[in-house]
Chains A and B, each alone.
Chain A
């Protein structure tokens, strides 16, 4: 099973990297870009757990280590 996890900054938390990329895209003529947010993408290969277990264990991994929930939120999906 493959867990695909996206970790991004929470709404309202300043994202200087996203801002810099946003400006650069606008400078390149991509005027339609209104906002850029930059985060992390992680893939975890899981073995020996049911989909249900995986769901709660990946959530625990995100809460305990993969995301800092003071500043970041996360979402993930599981692929069999």
Chain B
């Protein structure tokens, strides 16, 4: 598996992602600078978390005009797999590669904790190794994770099986009390219609190294391998 990790000015989970891809998964990983213009030869591209361009204007809004984003669009259009984590998810929605938008948490607070999420579909390259309804415990760390899309868009996403993860309690029930940030439909992760671009607010890369607590994040990376 040949993969790349995009580095924007202000990315701060890029090394975590690179470490998991290269040292834990043992994949051929390389850095992709935001001014690069080619993604030739890659199977997977990760847009990491952080605060690209200081979150100026809106989280992800400036990054989506980086030179690399044209290449990301083309790569995604050709079926290349793209995983946007946290700020990477925000960038993908701003770029129009994923539906919806991510707004300030309804609590107005930065959240940093382990959170249960339920796998809604295993028919994506990112969840192929998970069972539908499986509950994963993943770290979240964000201030702008409140997913919003209008009712028609959400209906369309549901019809096309594009909602991948929802926030839930430890037994997998989706309730308002277990919705940490106010996301519409408790949505934590989505894919595009082609199922090759995924964005999620939780950080799978922070729960994938045996040296650290939590191992559920690894399932997303194992899925990519199983799918390949």
Tell me, in angstroms, the Cα distance from A66 to B56 when the chains sit together.
11
Contact B182 A14 (CB under 8 A): yes
Tell me, in angstroms, the Cα distance from A20 to B150 when the chains sit together.
23
- Cβ 8 A contact of A16, one of B61, B65, B105, B150: B105
Interface mask (A38-80 → B, CB under 8 Å = 1, otherwise 0)? 0000000000000000000000000001101011000000000
A71: B residues at CB distance < 8 A? 101, 103, 148
Contact B57 A16 (CB under 8 A): no
Tell me, in angstroms, the Cα distance from A13 to B105 when the chains sit together.
13
Contact A70 B108 (CB under 8 A): no
A17: B residues at CB distance < 8 A? 104, 108
Contact A70 B182 (CB under 8 A): no
Contact B104 A16 (CB under 8 A): yes
Q: Closest CB of chain A to B191's CB: distance in Å?
A: 17
Interface size on A, residues (CB 8 A): 10
A66: B residues at CB distance < 8 A? 57
Q: Closest CB of chain B to A63's CB: distance in Å?
A: 12
Tell me, in angstroms, the Cα distance from A50 to B41 when the chains sit together.
47
Give the interface of B toward A (CB within 8 A): 57-58, 61, 65, 93-94, 100-101, 103-108, 146, 148-150, 182
Having A68-B94, A71-B101, A71-B103, one finds 13 other A-B pairs with CB under 8 Å, namely A13-B148, A14-B103, A14-B106, A16-B105, A16-B108, A16-B146, A16-B182, A17-B104, A20-B108, A65-B57, A68-B58, A68-B61, A70-B150
Give the interface of A toward B (CB within 8 A): 13-14, 16-17, 20, 65-66, 68, 70-71
The 8 closest A-B pairs by CB, nearest first: A70-B101, A71-B101, A16-B106, A68-B101, A16-B108, A71-B148, A68-B58, A16-B104
